[in-house]
Chain A
Amino acid sequence: SDEVTQPPSVSVSPGQTARISCSGDAFSDQYAYWYQQKSGQAPVLIIYKDTERPSGIPERFSGSTSGTTVTLTINGVQAEDEADYYCQSADSTAAYPVFGGGTQLTVL
């Protein structure tokens, strides 16, 4: 199956660590990517190829993978990190992308 699943919401207090997981068979042979989307804005790539961070993305954002589950970790969460986060992979032939349903991160 191409489907990827992520929790609809995660809450964390400032300074704590937030973890958002995403699961799907696609991750067994395709990379994972993560996007941050703040309210009213376009998505922004924050993790690519499972663990890589584009230039300009803070070091507190990191990605990891284990089997068919990938995880976005945000260390020392800040108020500005409140946003929707989407994981993304691709079908088995990398012919089209597959998005998770999105996780709303609330900073308490």
Chain B
Amino acid sequence: QVQLVQSGAEVKKLGASVKVSCTTSGYTFTSCDINWVRQAPGQGLEWMGWMNPNSGITAYAHKFRGRVTMTRDTSISTAYMELSGLKSEDRAVYYCAREAPGTSGYYFDSWGQGTLVSVSS
């Protein structure tokens, strides 16, 4: 079955960077785009961007451009999301999500378990 397993919780200083991994299994990694979505405490879901694991092409939400970088290592079926210049408002749970393959819609059929990123001063 499809699984997305994310790296563990992180505590970072203001201004630092964090890199979260998302290791996939149960399907061909390069066949489905990976998106990243975050959720601040008590808040809703916020889309950050997507990456095509085959080509490495990315697209980021306006809000995160210049601070976020999405990459992948196809040899280990893993996607990464790095966020730099951390601010207190970046404290959130970060999810990777697999975009449903071969459809005319844009939605997510599998999600990672989430990674809590805390930012301290």
| CB of A14 closer than 8 Å to a CB of B | no
In the complex, which of the residues A90, A98, A99 has the most CB atoms of chain B within 10 Å of its own CB atom? A99
Known: A97-B47, A99-B45, A102-B45. A45 touches B108 (CB 8 A): yes
| CB of A88 closer than 8 Å to a CB of B | yes
In the complex, what distance in Å separates the CA atom of A86 from the CA atom of B35?
17
| CB of A108 closer than 8 Å to a CB of B | no
In the complex, what distance in Å separates the CA atom of A38 from the CA atom of B105?
24
Question: Contact size class for B?
Answer: 20 to 34
Binding site for A on B (CB under 8 A): 35, 37, 44-47, 50, 59, 61, 95, 97, 100, 103-109, 111-114
Query: Can you identify 24 A-B contacts, CB atoms within 8 angstroms?
Result: A30-B105, A31-B105, A35-B108, A42-B112, A43-B45, A43-B108, A44-B111, A45-B107, A45-B108, A48-B100, A48-B107, A48-B109, A49-B105, A54-B109, A90-B105, A96-B50, A96-B59, A97-B47, A99-B37, A99-B44, A99-B45, A99-B46, A100-B44, A102-B45
